[in-house]
Amino acid sequence: MTQGTRSVRMFITGKVQGVGFRWWCVSQASHLGLDGWVRNRLDGSVEAVATGPEDAVDDLVEACRHGPRGAAVEGVFVSDADPSEAGPHGFEQAPTA
């Protein structure tokens, strides 16, 4: 069975800054073989774009619903994204926006 690719944009709200969320997200996404980025937002949320195999993207979305130790995730808002938004290859931290 061939699996398709999926690209998503996530906004994660709650206590998600100052708890290592970006570092943790890079680690999770890299382990899953995803491309994309994660960044803090000026409003206190975290934004991420991820692209890769559907199951792996779904796993990252589910992981972000819990976050790292110390985080208190209130919501994960997911929408489709253009695969080109993820960048060329790999998963990294991007500057705050």
The residues carrying an active-site annotation are 22, 40
d(CA 9, CA 3): 20
CA distances from 57 to 35, 44, 70, 86 (A): 10, 23, 23, 12
Q: How far is CA 15 from the centre of its chain?
A: 15
